[in-house]
């Protein structure tokens, strides 16, 4: 749908071409890109997906980043040589976008290491309005969980964008508060900072082509997983990249405690291996093989299947920007046991059970207590959760960004009007006298030597 003479919202999906990851940030980017054009149309705004090649933005279509359909451009970009080729060839086959003053650029991805991307954003900012989604500040606030190189790159990226952005949208109020504090520290007196707000993430899954009647088809789920979940025992599920911030070791120790005291349950771990993960991977491999299954490449269908067939999700993170697995599990009515972190309370509210992230003993005791009633009390509070869809999430986001852009334009118009009035208004005799008196009272300064 196209609205003539109406502004355009450009959704930046840089680094998604050829990206097969569907967890965390990549899931958010794909879902917002999928529903974005239809949602923008509800606000009578045009919507286009754009990708940076070099230091310019070019239009793409959603099918180009759909890892299920795997368009030819997607397949080319899966390889490093293909990405280099596209960087050279795509600008020769397409023209870069030409934004207008009322257009909006909304960056969806965490584009920390794309050469030329910051310049492309800065060029857009000279003409239009720039808003960014921020997923978390952990490389800056919790550098111990990241490599020094990543933390440095993140801080440089954030500093570069601070001067070329008008608005930031955190994926939770927790992230928005952290960013506000960051901006106060880095920009205390040097003019207006970008405005900051927050929105909620959706949690609905969209299998690629299967009908509702085939949604549970075993053909889409690997036999290893179906066999594991077919056991007539409790299965605890952990979802997240294997890295220190996710605190997997707390769950491993709690499960070992339970097994040592006769628990016959099992543990399903879903998540790819990340950074600083050697100790965690060793921890997985030391546990009884018949009681633990680790999937590093689960599909959406398999993840959805795991949520629905597990006794509970355990989410023990030390620090998060949102905690998407919490809402994905609650949407299925699956009980959630989460670490006692402010953002988990914000996201899960009264529908989760909470424990201290540094206490595997407390976690084990909580699981043991729930097992006495087959997690029924936890399931009852989980069923009270009211999830939102990605369409609702995108509607919150776009409404927020449009409002922020409107406020900035009004503010700029008001400033220009005041400036113009001050230049055009003649000075009255009284005003002239007051001006001279004020000038006489100013301290005199020495002229610098020529």
Give 194-232 as a DSSP string. Answer: PEEEE---------SS--GGGTT-GGGS-HHHHHHHTSS
The per-residue pLDDT for 215 is: 47
Mean pLDDT by 10 residues, the chain (450 residues): 86 84 85 95 95 91 73 74 76 89 94 86 96 96 93 92 93 96 78 88 72 49 94 94 96 96 96 92 91 93 95 97 96 96 96 97 97 93 94 97 91 58 49 40 36
Please indicate, yes or no, whether residues 350 and 401 belong to a single structural domain of this protein.
Answer: no
Structure tokens at 298: 């689960």
The per-residue pLDDT for 424 is: 53
Phi-psi region of 247 (alpha: psi -120 to 50; beta: other; left: phi over 0): left
The per-residue pLDDT for 54 is: 87
Q: Is 441 inside a domain boundary?
A: no
Q: Is 352 inside a domain boundary?
A: yes
Please indicate, yes or no, whether residues 47 and 185 belong to a single structural domain of this protein.
Answer: yes
Please indicate, yes or no, whether residues 32 and 107 belong to a single structural domain of this protein.
Answer: yes
Q: Is 78 inside a domain boundary?
A: yes
Q: Is 224 inside a domain boundary?
A: no
The per-residue pLDDT for 350 is: 95
3-state secondary structure of 307: helix
Name the residue among 65, 157, 75, 167 with its Cα closest to residue 115: 157
Q: 319, 358 in Cβ contact below 8 A?
A: no
Residues contacting 91, CB < 8 A, separation 6+: 53, 54, 56, 58
What residue numbers bound the domain in which 185 lies? 8-202+393-411
Q: Is 107 inside a domain boundary?
A: yes
Please indicate, yes or no, whether residues 155 and 122 belong to a single structural domain of this protein.
Answer: yes
**Exposure of 333 by Cβ count < 10 A (0-12 exposed, 13-18 middle, 19+ buried)?**
middle
Instruction: Write down which residue in 371, 387, 403 finishes a domain.
Output: 387
Please indicate, yes or no, whether residues 161 and 272 belong to a single structural domain of this protein.
Answer: no
Sign of the CA dihedral with 334 first, then 335, 338, and 341 last: positive
The per-residue pLDDT for 103 is: 97
Angle between helices 148-162 and 173-186 (to 10 degrees): 80
Q: Is 359 inside a domain boundary?
A: yes
Total domain count, the chain: 2
The per-residue pLDDT for 447 is: 33
Determine phi and psi for 257, rounding to 5 degrees.
-60, -45
Please indicate, yes or no, whether residues 173 and 28 belong to a single structural domain of this protein.
Answer: yes
Please indicate, yes or no, whether residues 38 and 24 belong to a single structural domain of this protein.
Answer: yes
Paired sense of beta strands 46-53 and 56-60, if any: antiparallel
The per-residue pLDDT for 5 is: 80
Please indicate, yes or no, whether residues 192 and 241 belong to a single structural domain of this protein.
Answer: no
What letter does residue 313 receive in the DSSP assignment? E
Determine phi and psi for 116, rounding to 5 degrees.
90, -15
Q: Enter the pTM of the model.
A: 0.85
The per-residue pLDDT for 219 is: 52
Name the residue among 175, 177, 164, 162 with its Cα closest to residue 135: 175
Distance, in Å, from the CA atom of 312 to the CA atom of 14, rounded to the nearest integer, reads 35
The per-residue pLDDT for 418 is: 55
Q: Is 59 inside a domain boundary?
A: yes
Please indicate, yes or no, whether residues 137 and 101 belong to a single structural domain of this protein.
Answer: yes
Please indicate, yes or no, whether residues 44 and 102 belong to a single structural domain of this protein.
Answer: yes
Sign of the CA dihedral with 91 first, then 95, 99, and 104 last: negative
Q: 138, 112 in Cβ contact below 8 A?
A: no
Name the residue among 275, 233, 229 with its Cα closest to residue 255: 233
The per-residue pLDDT for 416 is: 52
Query: Which CATH number characterizes residue 366's domain?
Result: 3.40.50.2000
Structure tokens at 264: 């016959």
Distance, in Å, from the CA atom of 158 to the CA atom of 175, rounded to the nearest integer, reads 14
The per-residue pLDDT for 189 is: 54
3-state secondary structure of 271: coil
Please indicate, yes or no, whether residues 45 and 103 belong to a single structural domain of this protein.
Answer: yes
Q: Is 345 inside a domain boundary?
A: yes
Please indicate, yes or no, whether residues 163 and 49 belong to a single structural domain of this protein.
Answer: yes
Cβ neighbour number for residue 228 with a 10 Å cutoff: 19
The per-residue pLDDT for 169 is: 98
């Amino acid at each position: 749908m196209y609205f003539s003479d109406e502004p355009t919202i450009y959704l930046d999906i840089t680094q998604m071409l050829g990206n097969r990851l569907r967890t965390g940030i990549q899931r958010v980017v794909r879902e917002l890109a999928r529903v974005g054009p239809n949602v923008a149309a509800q606000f009578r705004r045009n919507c286009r997906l754009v990708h940076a090649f070099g230091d310019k933005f070019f239009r793409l279509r959603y099918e180009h980043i759909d890892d299920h359909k795997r368009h030819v451009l997607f397949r080319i970009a899966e390889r490093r040589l293909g990405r280099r080729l596209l960087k050279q060839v795509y600008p020769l086959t397409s023209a870069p976008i030409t934004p207008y003053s009322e257009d909006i650029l909304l960056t969806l991805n965490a584009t920390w290491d794309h050469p030329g991307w910051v310049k492309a954003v800065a060029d857009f900012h000279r003409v239009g309005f720039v808003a960014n989604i921020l997923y978390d500040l952990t490389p800056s606030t919790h550098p111990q969980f990241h490599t020094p190189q990543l933390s440095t790159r993140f801080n440089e990226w954030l500093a570069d964008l601070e001067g070329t952005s008008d608005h930031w949208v955190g994926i939770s109020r927790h992230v928005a508060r952290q960013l506000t504090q960051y901006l106060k520290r880095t920009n205390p007196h040097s003019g207006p900072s970008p405005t900051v707000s927050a929105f909620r993430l959706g949690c609905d899954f969209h299998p690629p082509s299967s009908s509702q009647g085939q949604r549970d088809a075993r053909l889409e789920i690997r036999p290893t997983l179906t066999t594991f979940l077919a056991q007539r025992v409790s299965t605890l599920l952990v979802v997240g990249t294997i890295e220190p911030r996710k605190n997997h070791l707390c769950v491993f120790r709690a499960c070992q405690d339970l097994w040592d005291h006769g628990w016959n349950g099992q543990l399903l771990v879903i998540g790819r291996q990340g950074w600083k993960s050697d100790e965690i991977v060793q921890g997985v491999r030391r546990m009884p093989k018949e009681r633990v299954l680790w999937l590093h490449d689960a599909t959406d269908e398999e993840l959805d299947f795991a949520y629905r067939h597990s006794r509970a999700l355990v989410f023990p993170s030390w620090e998060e920007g949102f905690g998407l697995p919490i809402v994905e599990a609650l949407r299925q009515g699956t009980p959630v046991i989460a670490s006692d972190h402010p953002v988990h309370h914000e996201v899960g509210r009264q529908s989760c059970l909470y424990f201290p992230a540094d206490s595997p003993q407390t976690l084990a005791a909580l699981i043991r207590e729930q097992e006495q009633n087959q997690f029924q009390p936890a399931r009852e509070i989980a069923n009270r959760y009211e999830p939102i869809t990605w369409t609702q999430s995108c509607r919150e986001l776009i409404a927020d960004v449009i409002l922020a852009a409107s406020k900035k334009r009004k503010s700029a118009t008001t400033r220009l009007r005041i400036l113009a009035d001050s230049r055009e208004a003649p000075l009255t005799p009284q005003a002239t006298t007051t001006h001279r008196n004020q000038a006489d009272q100013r301290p005199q300064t020495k002229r610098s030597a020529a």
